[in-house]
Structure 1
């Protein structure tokens, strides 16, 4: 949002020059509110842009009825995804195993493994072991 409260991409009609509009594809997987969705819908309906791929919306969940963006479901030039695009059987199985492993580490009083490159997590103290990836390990000394 801009300081005046307007969405960052507030008007596709003014933001894009006439030449080239039909080639533009808008992809938003950040936040629904950064795009003026009414302007996006207008631009898609009038073919001012070629298409859109969205997995976030200012009003969620997106619905095929009683939603300001319900027309998107019928547009051939729009791809809609849930924000949980990782949601596969394999990903859920891995997630379940990871959670159970972390719970076991806590119950057994072992250092809890954190698999992340997020620097905000590196400040944690004892009982934590960092693994960045399979090949690189940042092991913090931890006591049992």
Structure 2
């Protein structure tokens, strides 16, 4: 049986699959749609990350496909309904990169609250901005507001509590009567309460109709002016132009974005000369350790699915 891997995957997991399957491992395929379609004509499995668009038109080129493995958890680049209609199994790497994302949130929150870590360029130019960066904040006693309280949100809450954060969360999908709130020591609140109270707002929701542009100009304006916003979830949840304007005008203290409406981010974006902003290329969930866990999980599950 043949497996196509169109984005980067851990070497050990690829080698494991190559021992038992005909494997085409070419991370460049994500940017070569015609070559990808040709490769899929006789493929039984496909392994992707977040950039390969597994939609009905691509699936039409893969008549033998049985399984799609996702090296990550978000499925907005995969037409799940189209897969289901053809009995194609979709396997996300649920939980395997949670620690990496949670640590990214905590690091970003502490950097943005303290602000002094953003002084490197000025220092390298010979400045000594001691007064400018002496008004940063500690994490102890601050409120972290989580929008979404799934596995990653819960792990983020646990790490944050160890640093002295009080954690609140908004998730309509988790009943206020659920025992998970008491177990986690987290208070469930509505979104308005969260925006009023949180010094750090971190997003942990999928991109669906109800969350698209959830943090638009109006929502951002309801945040505390000394708050920071972190998005490791999906591009499209935050209105990037509205966020950039709020930061430029000093109506928000800072932001960290790992995901964007259009990826890769191009030179034509909203973020030039925006202060107190951290931008990273969709790598919050990607570390050496998490890549090993994610790759191994998907290799095992795709192999199991094809062998059944």
Structure 1-normalised TM-score? 0.51
CA drift of 1:43 comes to: 1.0
Q: Which residue of 2 aligns with 1:56?
A: 259
Identify the match of residue 80 of structure 1 among 262, 273, 279: 279
Contact 1:13 1:43 in 2 (8 A): no
CA drift of 1:79 comes to: 1.7
Q: Which residue of 2 aligns with 1:35?
A: 238
Q: Does 1:97 align with 2:296?
A: yes
Structure 2 residue runs without a partner (length 5+):
1-207
Provide, for residues 68-114 of structure 1, a one-character-per-residue CA deviation record: whole Å limited to 9, x for no partner: 2341xx555112233332322223333343344446656776xxxxx
Structure 1 residue runs without a partner (length 5+):
110-144
Q: Which residue of 2 aligns with 1:69?
A: 270
> What SS does structure 2 have at the residue aligned with 1:27?
strand
**C-alpha RMSD over aligned residues:** 3.4
- The alignment of Structure 1 onto Structure 2 pairs a total of residues equal to 100
Identify the match of residue 10 of structure 1 among 205, 210, 216: 216
Higher helix share: 2
Distance 1:40 1:96 in 2: 34
Q: Which residue of 2 aligns with 1:25?
A: 228
> What SS does structure 2 have at the residue aligned with 1:34?
coil
Q: Which has the higher contact order (CA 8 A, sep 6+)?
A: 2
Question: Which one has a bigger Cα radius of gyration?
Answer: 1
